[in-house]
Amino acid sequence: MPIRRPTVLVVEDDAHNRTFLIDLLLAYGFNTLVALNGEEGVMVGIQASPDLILMDLGLPVLDGWTATRRLKAHPQYGGAPIIAVTGWTRPQDEELARAAGCDAFVRKPFLARELLSVMESLLGRTG
């Protein structure tokens, strides 16, 4: 029986960072979906029901905090864990992210294995 590859939704507006994340995810055997802003992220997150979402917080159109809140509040949301990925280092940033509903918080820049270990722990929890 083929092993199902988890699908990760990448919500990131910066092109280079988006490319790096996609390359990383593909290299490690994940399927990827992409959204360029928070509004798209909510739409894709509801429609595609990914297994995990990497959410940048500083997004155009709709910021990552609001997008997270909307996803979590949506009745059709599949319950995928959301990892906040951000370059903001203010003490309140992590608090705000978790308050919005993010399940983990990773500060940019990060090494591949740092992100992967967080993803593995969340995906392991959700099966």
- The tokens describing 42, both together, are 């909510």
Q: Identify which of residues 75 and 109 has a Cβ nearer to another protein in the complex.
A: 109
CA dist 4 and 56 (Å) reads 26
Amino acid at the residue 56: D
CA dist 109 and 89 (Å) reads 11
Q: Does 89 bind another protein (CB under 8 A)?
A: yes
Q: Does 19 bind another protein (CB under 8 A)?
A: yes
Q: Does 92 bind another protein (CB under 8 A)?
A: no
Q: Does 87 bind another protein (CB under 8 A)?
A: yes
Q: Does 88 bind another protein (CB under 8 A)?
A: yes
Chain centroid to CA 5: how far?
Answer: 16
Residue 106 backbone dihedrals phi, psi, to 5 degrees: -125, 130
Give the per-residue contact string, 38-67, with another protein (x = CB under 8 A; - = no). --------------------x---------
Tokens 């990131």 belong to which residue? 12
Q: Which residues bind another protein (CB under 8 A)?
A: 14, 16-17, 19-21, 23-24, 27, 58, 87-90, 107-112, 114
